[in-house]
Structure 1
């Protein structure tokens, strides 16, 4: 059987199998990805990140000519996804470790994804990624969550992954929610959605920074310790609910750590940025 060299990495506990495939020679079937990500019989991860040069693979191509690398992201079940906020930081750390790019502190790199081109900046404590413009969904969504007695309304936000954010009544509800099964969305989004459960800290704003706590169920992966675009969606939704006086700087606590979210004006509208750590844990060889 052919061998596969891989690296295991994570961002605030959201973990990934990373493989370098610069020339697009590696044909990974959904079943291969699912086996590699299986926590009992494989390496174990929330998803797989394949580093491929932009344009050499029809399934991993960004139209922007000045983008050298494409992040081919697959969920743990082998399905494809538009983007991954934690994953793109870990992906950048992997490119650096593999000697595929050079990126000094404060420098930035453009990376192609299915959700568009993302600009990642190297910071003193990790990486920050500009996720571009975000979109508020137009449909009202009701969300039924195991372990929560009452059906809750959800707010749809794309960043660019589809998300539905739900505000819970208290800390007990956040703790008792059972995310071992997917929350039921009505109406169900055509492409599915990640679901974030949110509780504000008390007070919400401290020294100009708003603070929330979050749990998440990711489509194709289940409950994860963290979701980068989910943290962004949760902050955007809470700011929307809080009104015009809410700040643009947020700290989102997830089971795996803390992420930073910042909203800022750009020429094409408001953008949102995600910041946090990226850790490479170990490398190895397996068979596919």
Structure 2
């Protein structure tokens, strides 16, 4: 049985199995990804980051047309083996791996472009670790009702597209947030064709302190279940709460998730408003594992 080298990493508890495959020689099957991410019989993780040269994967070749400097492509898979477009925490962990292993360098004041299925994401160093420009956000279309175990009635959700789909739900209190049972899959009505990550949020008191908005969040990720953190979900939650807060709401947000704290910042560009995510990225251990 062949062995595969791996590294385990996480961003605020959102954890990943990292597999280096620079020449694109190991296209893991969904069953193999699920086995590696299994927390009882495998390494364990919310997803898998395959590190491949952009030139060696079809989606990456298209990325190079957009940004020739995006030499590396983050082939991200959910824990169930399904393909996902993007992962905000994953991009930061991916960048940490590239830098720590010498596959890339990042000079002060420069950005590291990373290819993803949601386009090129530029990563900078930040005070808390790394900041990634998630790009232009969009409304996700129709806003569904959300049913979740622990909520007595369905709640309206706000759809947000950050390259991957999100639905954000406002709750009335910390007690409601903590009382959710996200071991059961929340139901969206109408259900998006490709599913969505679902974020449940509560404002801190006060909502804004020293010019920074503050919220708490829990998340159910499609193809995974509840995770300790979701980077793009954090950004979606901040965008939704800013919209609900109305005129004068800040463009800088502090989001507390079960795995830690992340920063979100909205800023204008020529193509429209972008949103950036900042926070830590940690590599935990490396090893080899038998791959069926």
TM-score by length of structure 2 reads 0.97
Task: Tell me the CA shift for residue 263 of structure 1.
Answer: 0.2
Aligned residues: 288
Q: Does 1:113 align with 2:99?
A: no
Counterpart of 1:73 in structure 2 is 76
Q: Does 1:278 align with 2:255?
A: no
Q: Is the 8 A contact 2:59 2:117 kept in 1?
A: no
Counterpart of 2:106 in structure 1 is 103
Counterpart of 1:234 in structure 2 is 237
Alignment of 1:26-175 (within 5 A): 26-58=26-58, 60-61=60-61, 62=63, 63-64=65-66, 65-175=68-178
Q: Is the 8 A contact 1:104 1:122 kept in 2?
A: no
Task: Tell me the CA shift for residue 140 of structure 1.
Answer: 2.4
Deviations 1:6-52 (A, max 9, x none): 00000000000001111001120000000000000000000000110
CA distance in 2, matches of 1:59, 1:77: 21
Counterpart of 1:22 in structure 2 is 22
Task: Tell me the CA shift for residue 236 of structure 1.
Answer: 0.1
Name the SS of the counterpart of 2:58 in structure 1.
Answer: coil
Where do 5+ consecutive residues of structure 2 fail to align? none
Q: Is the 8 A contact 2:137 2:162 kept in 1?
A: yes
Deviations 1:41-92 (A, max 9, x none): 0000000001100121225442423320100000000001010000000000
Identify which range, 197-206 or 107-116, moves more after superposition: 107-116
Q: Does 1:3 align with 2:6?
A: no
CA distance in 2, matches of 1:106, 1:3: 39
Task: Tell me the CA shift for residue 285 of structure 1.
Answer: 0.5
Root mean square deviation, CA, Å? 1.0
CA distance in 1, matches of 2:107, 2:184: 42
Q: Is the 8 A contact 1:168 1:174 kept in 2?
A: yes
Q: Is the 8 A contact 1:14 1:86 kept in 2?
A: yes
TM-score by length of structure 1 reads 0.98
Q: Does 1:176 align with 2:179?
A: yes
- Structure 1 segments of 4 or more deviating over 6 A? none
Identify which range, 273-282 or 133-142, moves more after superposition: 133-142
CA distance in 1, matches of 2:214, 2:152: 26
Where do 5+ consecutive residues of structure 1 fail to align? none
Name the SS of the counterpart of 2:39 in structure 1.
Answer: coil
CA distance in 2, matches of 1:278, 1:137: 28
CA distance in 1, matches of 2:272, 2:178: 36
Task: Tell me the CA shift for residue 3 of structure 1.
Answer: 1.1
Name the SS of the counterpart of 1:18 in structure 2.
Answer: strand
